[in-house]
């Protein structure tokens, strides 16, 4: 009986000691995590501020290009670049072999409304299943809101398509700003940012964003090569699309 009571007291003391160690360890963990949480908060605020400043700079660039386009000051430059990418013997044909034209059409389709919509809906569905409604709604509004903005800008400027060359792809809307350039910047840069945020490695994050930027540039260049856009159309689309994406990145820091 005495032995049993002694063992019970020993076990009680051990439980108390373990509880005290757990509590003290929890306090230490909280003290350790607090600075990290503050650093993460500061990092997010800094990233949001940089995004807003970069977006403002891009909007300034768009305004500068739009002013040149509206005043007709860019037309000489635009036509020189478009004609430089055409066969001198036959301006109706782009430079290069036939397979290059087909490759350009394949690349340019990645910035079409149909492909961008499919990509966006796929990502929204994934976010709904994995992260919740907030990020899914954020993604949908970012991309589809960007589409509406681009359509409004096209209606406002109503710039005709290049008329000095044959269009190697069918077009149905006004020329400025390039919808393919702006939509690819909005969609692919936003998707790239979502993927980069989930990566533990900085190298992988940089790679993902570089790949998204490269794809955006390639799509825009294909529009000039196919003769369906002037260079300033594509430059304006890149500026407004990247600015729109950066503005939404800033809001993503709070999700």
- pLDDT, tens digit (0-9, with 9 covering 90-100), for 79-97: 888 888 887 777 777 888 8
Measured CA distances, 1 to 4, 7, 14, 78 (Å): 5, 10, 20, 100
Q: Tokens at residue 14, please?
A: 């051990």
116: in domain: yes
Q: Tokens at residue 46, please?
A: 């800094």
Domain residue limits at 173: 45-252
177: in domain: yes
To 10 degrees, what angle do helices 231-252 and 179-197 make?
Answer: 30
Provide the residue count of the chain. Answer: 255
DSSP secondary-structure letter at 191? H
pLDDT confidence bin for 200, thresholds 50/70/90? confident
10: in domain: no
- Tokens 């036939």 correspond to what residue? 98
Q: Tokens at residue 28, please?
A: 């230490």
3-class SS shares of the chain: helix, strand, coil, % to 5: 80, 5, 20
Say whether pLDDT at 77 is over 50. Answer: yes
Q: In the predicted model, what is the mean pLDDT of residues 118-146? A: 87
pLDDT at 195: 80
pLDDT at 43: 54
Say whether pLDDT at 73 is over 60. Answer: yes
Q: Which of 212, 230, 195, 218 is nearest to 73 (CA)?
A: 230
Say whether pLDDT at 240 is over 90. Answer: yes
CA 181 – CA 179 distance, rounded (Å): 5
22: in domain: no
Q: In the predicted model, what is the mean pLDDT of residues 34-44? A: 53
Total of domains in the chain: 1
Q: In the predicted model, what is the mean pLDDT of residues 91-116? A: 88
Q: In the predicted model, what is the mean pLDDT of residues 195-220? A: 87
Return the minimum-mean-pLDDT range out of 16-30, 207-221, 235-249.
16-30
24: in domain: no
Say whether pLDDT at 251 is over 80. Answer: no
Measured CA distances, 242 to 34, 146, 174, 221 (Å): 34, 10, 20, 16
CA 128 – CA 189 distance, rounded (Å): 20
- Tokens 């350790």 correspond to what residue? 32
pTM: 0.76
pLDDT confidence bin for 118, thresholds 50/70/90? very high
33: in domain: no
pLDDT at 218: 95
147: in domain: yes
pLDDT confidence bin for 33, thresholds 50/70/90? very low
Say whether pLDDT at 191 is over 90. Answer: no
214: in domain: yes
């Amino acid at each position: 009986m005495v032995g049993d009571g002694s063992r019970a007291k020993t076990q009680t003391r051990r439980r108390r000691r373990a509880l005290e160690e757990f509590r003290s360890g929890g306090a230490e963990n909280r003290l350790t995590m607090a600075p990290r949480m503050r650093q993460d908060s500061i990092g997010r605020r800094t990233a949001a501020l940089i995004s807003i400043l970069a977006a403002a700079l891009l909007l300034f660039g768009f305004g500068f290009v739009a002013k040149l386009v509206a005043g007709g000051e860019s037309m000489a430059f635009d036509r020189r670049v478009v004609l430089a990418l055409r066969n001198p013997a036959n301006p109706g044909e782009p430079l290069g072999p036939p397979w290059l034209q087909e490759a350009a059409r394949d690349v340019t389709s990645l910035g079409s409304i149909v492909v961008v919509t499919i990509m966006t809906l796929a990502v929204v569905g994934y976010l709904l299943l994995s992260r919740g409604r907030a990020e899914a709604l954020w993604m949908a509004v970012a991309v589809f809101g960007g589409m509406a903005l681009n359509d409004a800008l096209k209606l406002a400027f109503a710039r005709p398509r290049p008329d000095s060359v044959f269009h190697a792809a069918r077009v149905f809307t006004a020329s400025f700003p390039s919808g393919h350039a702006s939509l690819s910047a909005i969609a692919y840069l936003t998707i790239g940012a979502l993927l980069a945020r989930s990566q533990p490695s900085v190298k992988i994050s940089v790679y993902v964003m570089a790949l998204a930027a490269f794809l955006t540039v390639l799509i825009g260049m294909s529009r000039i090569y196919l003769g369906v856009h002037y260079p300033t159309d594509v430059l304006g689309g890149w500026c407004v699309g990247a600015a729109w994406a950066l503005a939404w990145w800033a809001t993503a820091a709070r999700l």
